[in-house]
Amino acid sequence: MKTIGMIGGMSWESSAEYYRLVNEEVKNRLGRLHSSKSILFSVDFEEIEQLQASGDWHQAGKLLGQAAKSLEMAGADFIILCTNTMHKVIQDVEENISIPLVHIGDATAAAIKEKQIQKIGLLGTRYTMEMDFYKSRLAAGGLEVLIPGEQERTEINRIIFEELCMGTVSETSRTFFLDVIQSMVAEGAEGIILGCTEIGLLVQEGHTDIPLFDTTRIHVKVAVDYALSN
């Protein structure tokens, strides 16, 4: 079994979910007392968030690149970045390591294509929804990507940073997300990407009949595939 290097802390709420899901996936596949071989480097999200807000992505990438290098030196065989938004600085991370990195966007695009979906709605932080670093990766996989309107994007971003990243799961916010999902379906979306690793804490498959693609769960499964491969 390969050792997974996990860059987490963005937020630790979703990183805890990553750790749980990775170990559950390994146990489900191998049985008995099996768990994942993994190393977690958890950053201070306040520091990263301030760099996001100020637009200093280079410095944020430098910090995550240092984290990735530390994981490689500690014995990780490959890296997963336990966040969607910070894949914006993936090049900075990859430049610091000589081991593979499993990209969350590529994993998600592959999962969507398996369902033969062409038009997909994307929910996430404002950065993920509005910038090209994530959408372009999906488009390269042959997907047409829809995002919510300006007011909806603002409220989604607020809920992520002010509620979900703080461990608050609100029924009112869940209803808002489900309304946005229905609106995107009305615009032609055949499924919805939960493109922030915290959204899966709020909205799950049981809340809607619309196909949901939880990037945390998708990323975990692909990471375990790689960890258990020869």
- Which class for 107: exposed (0-12), middle (13-18), buried (19 or more C-beta within 10 A)? buried
Cβ proximity of 2 and 201 under 8 Å? no
Q: What is the pLDDT of residue 30?
A: 97
- Residue 83 known to be catalytic: yes
Q: What is the per-residue pLDDT across 109-144, written as a single tens digit (0 to 9) for each?
A: 999 999 999 999 999 999 999 999 989 989 988 899
Strand order in the sheet with 192-194: 144-146, 119-123, 192-194, 212-214
Tell which CATH classification among 3.60.21.10, 2.40.10.340, 3.90.650.10, 3.40.50.1860 matches the domain 104-214: 3.40.50.1860
Q: Do domains 4-103+218-228 and 104-214 have the same CATH topology?
A: yes
Cβ proximity of 93 and 65 under 8 Å? yes
In the beta sheet, which residues pair with residue 193? 122, 213
Q: What is the pLDDT of residue 141?
A: 83
Within 8 A by CB and 6+ apart from 16, the residues are none
In order of 23, 55, 104, 136, 178, the CA distances from 88 in angstroms are: 27, 12, 11, 11, 27
Tokens of 152: 């909806």
pLDDT under 70: residue ranges of the chain: none
Q: What is the per-residue pLDDT across 83-92, written as a single tens digit (0 to 9) for each?
A: 999 999 999 9
Using the 8-state DSSP alphabet, how is residue 44 labeled? -
Reported CATH class of domain 4-103+218-228: alpha beta
Which of the residues 83, 85, 197, 216 is marked catalytic?
83
Tokens of 2: 């390969």
Which of the residues 108, 196, 215, 216 is marked catalytic?
196
The answer, as to whether pTM is greater than 0.85, is: yes
Tokens of 32: 């008995």
- Residue 82 known to be catalytic: no
Please state the domain extents for the chain. Answer: 4-103+218-228, 104-214
In the beta sheet, which residues pair with residue 81? 7
Q: What is the pLDDT of residue 130?
A: 95
